[in-house]
A and B are shown apart, each in its own frame.
Chain A
Amino acid sequence: QLVLTQSPSASASLGASVKLTCTLSSGHTRYAIAWHQKQPEKGPRFLMKVNSDGSHNKGDGVPDRFSGSSSGAERYLTISSLQSEDEADYYCQTWSTDVSWIFGGGTKLTVL
């Protein structure tokens, strides 16, 4: 079964970097994923698609501070030079061959 696992919470200081992790279930380690940012009272924002080889394609206007990478079953979102507006929920998403989409449980990022 295709499942995405995320830590429920993360925190880092203003100006620091943070690396969020999304883990693909066994047997699905070659899947690409997408990262989305969700702020309260706003629609989600597509940040990037991350492929199994670590290459990534960012959405329009996404700052260079946001980057993606991969290692095995894990897909990462790194945010550098953290700003207060980066405080949000971050969701990873993938899609399966049976035409369905899966979201991870989300990580709530707190900027200290």
Chain B
Amino acid sequence: EGQLLESGGALVQPGGSLRLSCAASGFTFGSYAMSWVRQAPGKGLEWVATVSPTGRASYADSVKGRFTISRDNSKNSMSVHMNSLRAEDTAVYYCAKVLEQWLVQGAFDIWGQGTMVTVAS
């Protein structure tokens, strides 16, 4: 059974940067698109970014130009580098796997437990 484990969450000042990582196990990582999804306190789930198996990235408008998603298939890992952080980026960040091999669209079928990012001075 596949598993995802996020790390890197922290308290960061507005305007600062942070890198989150996601370690994958239990499935053929390089065959699946991977995503970041966040949940701000008291709010619902919000898609952030997705990277295809070959490294092509897609972003939500709210983070475009500030966040960069990437992956290392040799290490079964994915990351997101977050720049110019704002208070509204405060959230628990989850990594998630897309259900079907090689497709960049589809349901998220495996989720991590999340890592907290707090943007505050």
Quick one: closest B residue to A98, CB to CB? Answer: B58
Quick one: closest B residue to A59, CB to CB? Answer: B109
Asked if B114 CB lies within 8 Å of chain A CBs, one says yes
Stretch touching chain A among B12-20, B65-73, B75-83, B98-106: B98-106
Asked if A76 CB lies within 8 Å of chain B CBs, one says no
| Residue contact B47 to A101, C-beta cutoff 8 Å | yes
Contact of B108 among A34, A42, A97 (CB under 8 A): A34
What per-residue 1/0 map shows which CB atoms of A36-50 lie under 8 Å from chain B? 101000111110010
Complexed CA–CA distance, A103 and B99 (Å): 16
Q: Which residues of B come within 8 Å of A, CB atoms?
A: 1, 35, 37, 39, 44-47, 50, 58, 60, 94, 96, 99, 104-114
The 27 listed contacts between A and B (C-beta, < 8 Å) are: A34-B107, A34-B109, A36-B108, A36-B111, A43-B94, A44-B37, A44-B45, A44-B108, A44-B111, A46-B110, A49-B106, A49-B107, A59-B109, A91-B44, A93-B107, A93-B108, A95-B107, A99-B105, A100-B47, A100-B58, A100-B60, A101-B50, A102-B47, A103-B44, A103-B45, A103-B47, A105-B44
Q: Which residues of A come within 8 Å of B, CB atoms?
A: 32-34, 36, 38, 42-46, 49, 59-60, 91, 93, 95-97, 99-106
